A and B are shown apart, each in its own frame.
Chain A
Amino acid sequence: MRPAAARREDSDMTVRDLAELLAAVTGDESLLSAGITAATRLEGDLFLDSLDLAALAALLRERYGTALDLAGYVAGLGIDELIGLTAGEVTGYVNRCRVGPHPGP
């Protein structure tokens, strides 16, 4: 039987899931009640910086496997894309990665 956490990961990552991960990496519980939507900008609205994104990338990799390379995704973005990067774009990237062949344990 698979552990509960792994079972949950079979469904798409939601913005709510992302808010929980962000609260975990920043230690800021107020992100859970911040009303984050798909359109919320990580930098402009949530004041996340590159270190927060790096911590998020590490946590995502731990959870979903090395094929999920948020740091690589972010490194490919231009300055305006980084300024405008939204919660929905991050969950979209995560879910796209997970549609492909699952790396497995």
Chain B
Amino acid sequence: MSRFLVVTLPLTGHAHRALAVADELAVRGHEVAWCGPEAYFRPLLGPDATVFPTGTKLLREQAGHGMAALKSLWQDYVLPMGRFMLPSVHRAVHAYQPDVLVVDQHALAGALAARRHGLPWATLVTEAMELTRPLDALPRVADWVRAQVAALVREGGLTGPFDPLVSPYLVIAFTTRALTGEQPFPDHFALVGTAMLERQGDFDWDWLDPGRRTVLVTVGTLAAGLAAEFYQRAAAAVEPLAATVQAILVGPPDLLPDPPANVRVVPSVPMLALLPRLDAVISHGGMNTVCEALAHGVPLVLAPIRHDQPVVAAQVVRAGAGLRVPFYRVRPGPLRQALETVLDDPAYRQAAGRIGRSLTGAGGAQAAAARLEALLPAAR
């Protein structure tokens, strides 16, 4: 039996992938402990999980979109979290004596601690920004990001070149070439497809009319004002389609106090149970939602807001599994048109199914766990 220490961020898309892999490691007889904010991870992991707490850092809300959002992501979230978590991760490594660290790509403290303690570590790539390197098209921006990360590495007391975003041992990415394109990756990159985990949420199944097509609208965990406006436009887009289409909007019910009859607003949904009943998903393009939809062969209309979402949207459009609309500007008419296109043209569903088979056939959490086992001292 071996010990793995998971270091990840209190964000659904990141933590859920790590949990799917951790569950598989446990099935294989390994011990898994976590390092992160206990207020987030304890409810997610349950009372029996080993959690080395970092405390919870309150961070100001990140800027809205585009390059300003990218700058804010690093300056106001990734770097402060790395700095904040590092002492706790060091303590966790001392106390737990793990054989391998499993580190989310944006949980930089995990990489720094692994390097400092000379332990093998794996990067979990849970979003699309760093894998295909889209920032290479803006070299001065890419340099800026590298400089930010390098400063944290120096602060962490490490000398020499060290990239905490990409483990030299193993990089596990939750995607496949069906989405990333044919660009080659080094041998220590494992593209394992989806590792899905059900989310909490009740659903009134009787509300679903089997005679109508069902569309899910979700923009993730956003600032309410931003989501409210988009949801109003989405509701206006589907309202005239009431004869054939019903829509579920995921968000706080006060986002849309008076929805049309064919629209229901629910705070959360059991996504994996619902997906087989869905005909399309309208989303901001978070990797989690997109990969889950594609794994169920559901085509997408994507309205990316920031960070890696435009990259994800471009991948989906290129693969033919969906359409992209501008989040801030799309009017109900064009949004309706995009939705009807992916609903009516079977090519989108076929492409989604094709990518979905690639995502679900790439090994998922089992492949990830097997690659992690290969990092254990006995295997090396």
A contact residues vs B (CB 8 Å cutoff):
26-28, 30, 43-44, 47-52, 74-80, 82-83
Contact = CB atoms under 8 A, between A and B. Distances in A.
Contact of A47 (B65, B67, B70, B140): B65
Contacts of B314: 51
Contacts of B327: 47
Contacts of B58: none
B133 to A, nearest CB: 14
Contacts of A79: 67, 70-71, 140-141, 144
Contacts of A26: 326, 329
Contacts of A82: 66-67, 138, 141
Contacts, number: 57
B185 interface: no
28 contacts: A27-B334, A28-B326, A28-B329, A43-B66, A47-B65, A47-B327, A47-B329, A49-B66, A49-B304, A50-B66, A50-B137, A50-B138, A51-B310, A52-B326, A75-B137, A75-B138, A76-B140, A77-B138, A78-B140, A78-B144, A79-B67, A79-B71, A79-B140, A80-B71, A82-B66, A82-B67, A82-B138, A82-B141
The interface residues of chain B, by DSSP majority, are classed as helix
Contacts of A78: 140-141, 144
A82 B310 CA distance: 16
Give 10 closest A-B pairs by Cβ, nearest first: A47-B328, A43-B66, A82-B67, A78-B140, A83-B67, A83-B68, A79-B144, A79-B141, A28-B329, A79-B71
Interface of B: 65-68, 70-71, 137-141, 144, 304, 310, 314, 324, 326-329, 334
Contacts of A49: 65-66, 304, 310, 326
B70 to A, nearest CB: 7
B326 A77 contact: no
A35 to B, nearest CB: 16
Given A49-B326, A51-B324, A77-B140, 5 more contacts: A28-B329, A49-B65, A74-B138, A79-B70, A83-B66
B344 to A, nearest CB: 20
Contact of B68 (A44, A52, A74, A75): A44
Contacts of A74: 138
Contacts of B140: 76-79
A80 B324 CA distance: 27
Nearest to B65: A47
A88 to B, nearest CB: 18
Nearest to B145: A79
A79 B140 CA distance: 7
A78 B138 CA distance: 8
Contacts of B328: 47
A1 to B, nearest CB: 39
Contacts of B66: 43-44, 47-50, 82-83
Contacts of A47: 65-66, 326-329
A43 B68 contact: yes
A52 B324 CA distance: 12
Nearest to A52: B326
A76 B137 CA distance: 10
Contacts of A43: 65-68
Contacts of A50: 66, 137-138, 310
Nearest to B334: A27
A28 B326 CA distance: 10
A96 to B, nearest CB: 20
A28 B137 CA distance: 26
Contacts of B141: 78-79, 82
Nearest to B143: A78
A76 B143 CA distance: 12
Nearest to B310: A49
A43 B328 CA distance: 11
Nearest to A30: B329
Nearest to A43: B66
Question: Which of B66, B324, B326, B334 counts the most chain A CB atoms within 10 A?
Answer: B66
A74 B137 CA distance: 9
B304 to A, nearest CB: 8
A55 to B, nearest CB: 11
A48 B310 CA distance: 12
A22 to B, nearest CB: 11
